[in-house]
Amino acid sequence: MTVSIGVAGAQGLIGKGVCKALIEGGKVERVVALDLKTSGKIKNVEEVIVDVHDKPALVNELKDLDLIVNIVAPYYRHGTAVADAALEAGIHYTDACADIAITKALLEQDEKWKNSSRTLLTGLGTSPGLTNMLVKILASRFDEVLEAHVVWATGGAEVNREEESTGTLLDFIREEFGEIPTYIDGRYVNVIGFLDGAEEIHFGDWTITVFHSGHSEPITIPRYIPGIRTVSCKGNVVPFGLVQLIQKAVDIGLDSDKRIKIAGQKVSPLTFLTAYLESPKAFSFYDLESLKFPGGIQVKVIGIRNGKQETEIENLRSDAVSEQADMTRSTAVPIAVVSEAIVLDRVKRKGAFAPEALDANLLNQFFDEIINRI
């Protein structure tokens, strides 16, 4: 049997990384890159032009695949279009979605995917993704789990890439600012993203201030870890100063998608904002020294073991994992490893779910393989 995996959004920064990780893994005979354009720059893949919102055309392309990896960013704009087409085509689906609203919409499809005997696994990047796996692995060491706290911080290797990453920046702006839900004492409470919950986290010699983040861990972890009372997700990005600049822009409405006419051209404030944030002018507001920070994640789980409250912490700095480790690799490799496992029938669960729904022993195997391949 020939194993075939498609990557939707393959011409973007993360999409190219996923194609590369699938090819390097050596378990997939056929990798198909689906996007609105071709580039000829992705080695050893088939390139197909398709619009993910043209459902009949997309379903037709998916029918010959075993699984589709959805990296079409920003997720908030494209919703469940790729997942819906995958379900109709009768194939498995994975993504690296962190968007809370889209994650909820995907998980609501659980029964449909169970009935189709196919797997939809959402949130398979770094955060969510590796963080969820670590939470489940650490949680399995306790008799009772009380709290889980996730931290992520991007590194300077992600800045000034030549490849397109506008979709990732758009997702970040729309996910992280304004009111976002977090899980405290068994109920959801709204906090303000990147303003509330300031906390200092140590990554080796670096001390990073993190804030409540709009990633999906507080939504998914309470679903799959019984009895947990508190789940938080905090983060920050480099260069430091970027978040503060975005916050000011959001405060005056520059995160709007509604186009306005400027000098005869219709441009949305959000399009202007993303272009400005990546411009040399914006860099004058940034702490460029922070670009030396390599990035990392931390997961802390608190629980009861042998009648006593104890804490387990995993702290991974990117450069301690691998010289190649950056956001692209640490997003692409997890989604490649788990996607391969799904089509090779190592993942038995069917339906729509997040990584921490899987058995801790299986996640431990995935985690070890991911670290080795990053």
118 & 76 share domain: yes
23 & 169 share domain: no
220 & 293 share domain: yes
194 & 279 share domain: yes
pLDDT in tens, 232-290: 999 998 888 888 888 899 889 998 989 998 888 898 998 899 888 888 888 888 888 88
Number of domains the chain is built from: 2
pLDDT value at residue 63? 97
Q: Name the pLDDT band for 155 (thresholds 50, 70, 90).
A: confident
262 & 356 share domain: no
Q: Which domain holds residue 242?
A: 130-323
97 & 171 share domain: no
Question: What does the pLDDT average to over 292-302?
Answer: 93
CATH number assigned to the domain comprising residue 108: 3.40.50.720
73 & 211 share domain: no
pLDDT in tens, 173-227: 877 888 999 999 999 999 999 999 999 999 988 999 999 999 999 999 999 999 9
Q: Name the pLDDT band for 162 (thresholds 50, 70, 90).
A: very low
What is the pTM assigned to this prediction?
0.91
Q: What percent of the chain has pLDDT over 90?
A: 71
Q: State how far the Cα of 79 lies from the Cα of 345, in Å rounded to an integer.
A: 27
187 & 303 share domain: yes
Beta pairing, strands 30-35 & 92-95: unpaired
pLDDT value at residue 323? 53
What does the H/E/C string look like for 74-91? Answer: CHHHHCCHHHHHHHHHCC
List the structure tokens of 348.
């038995």
217 & 119 share domain: no
Identify which of 337, 373, 370, 9 has the alpha carbon closest to the alpha carbon of residue 165: 9
pLDDT value at residue 322? 52
Question: What does the pLDDT average to over 124-152?
Answer: 97
